[in-house]
Structure 1
Amino acid sequence: MLAILATAALPMVRLSVKRKKEIQLHRALRQMRTAIDRYKDMTDRGIIPRGAPEAMGYPPDLETLVTGVRLLGTLTQKMKFLRRIPVDPMSGKAEWGLRSVQDDPDSTSWGGENVYDVYSESPGKALDGTEYSKW
């Protein structure tokens, strides 16, 4: 009897774990995208340096969002946008696919000019049938 209950409960536990990871993935993507948007807004408003012309006001990489950028008109003040690069809950690594403004919207190779968007590199599918890499 106990074995039957355990067998019935196992799929529910797996579903619950997957749902929790998907929520964490949504949160991590939103956190990084918000940081990218804040960086872009601050360059557009002239609060932080624009950087290379081809960057179009976007960060050169994710690490810049963590290490910070010197505020214009100051010698030492820095603006940081992330405390750390979040871990992709699907892979367990702080590694993400990157897109620049110059890349095609569905591109899986990063041109390296700037970071316009991020996506999970996990090949898995969500509970709703969509691919994590398309979120």
Structure 2
Amino acid sequence: MPSSLKTCRGVSLIELIVTMTILAILASVVMPMMQMTAIRSRELELHRNLRVIRTAIDEFKKSYDKAVLEKKILPSLNKSGYPETLQQLVDGYDFGGLYSTKQKFLRRIPADPMNPPKPGEEPKWGMRSYADNPDSGMWGGEDVYDVYSLNEGTAIDGTKYKDW
């Protein structure tokens, strides 16, 4: 019977403690890197979504100006040519018959990854109208000239999300 005990091997307590210590050190190094990667990916998504919305707003304005130039729409003193709401970019606008159908600029309004909407809610963005001050925190409501994140947090590069 003593010969069978010699062939049986196991892990000693010291080997187990050393292994657990090494795993804990590796986990403490990897976790902050994973958190930073998640923040960085949300920041990239925010940049992309802002660019998509701002490009759609600019394209709407170009189409409006073209319709005025071709006399499809009469110019109005109280209308800047920017969309009245973000939803108008999704629903479309006919520009007085400039195009054969309503011109749509977005399939949907992208969400702000730094200020995600609750399920069933529309995405929320801070907006500025053409008549507002460039650094205004209040939307005048006349039109949508610019959008920004409503998150008050600070980005990895030290800037505020709302200033992007």
User: TM-score, normalised to structure 1's length?
Assistant: 0.92
Worse overlay, 70-79 or 105-114: 70-79
How many angstroms apart in 1 are the aligned matches of 2:40 and 2:48? 12
How many angstroms apart in 2 are the aligned matches of 1:56 and 1:77? 22
| 4+ residue runs over 4 A deviation | 47-52
How many angstroms apart in 2 are the aligned matches of 1:51 and 1:95? 30
Larger Rg: 2
Tell me the CA shift for residue 49 of structure 1.
4.7
Give ranges in structure 1 of 5+ residues lacking alignment. Answer: none
Which residue, 15, 23, 36 being the options, matches 1:15? 36
Amino acid at match of 1:113: E
Tell me the CA shift for residue 101 of structure 1.
1.0
> Using a 3 Å threshold, how does the CA distance of structure 1 residues 33 and 75 change in structure 2: closer, same or farther?
closer
**Larger relative CO (CA 8 A, sep 6+): 1 or 2?**
1
Worse overlay, 45-54 or 3-12: 45-54
Q: Which residue of 2 aligns with 1:42?
A: 63
CA contact (8 A) 2:64 2:95 kept: no
Tell me the CA shift for residue 89 of structure 1.
0.6
Which residue, 87, 91, 95 being the options, matches 2:124? 95
Q: Which residue of 2 aligns with 1:54?
A: 78
How many angstroms apart in 2 are the aligned matches of 1:52 and 1:113? 13
How many angstroms apart in 2 are the aligned matches of 1:15 and 1:63? 33
Select the structure that is richer in helix.
2
- Cα deviation code 1:76-121 (max 9, x no counterpart): 7111000101010111121100001111111010000111000000
Tell me the CA shift for residue 72 of structure 1.
2.5
Identical pairs, percent: 48
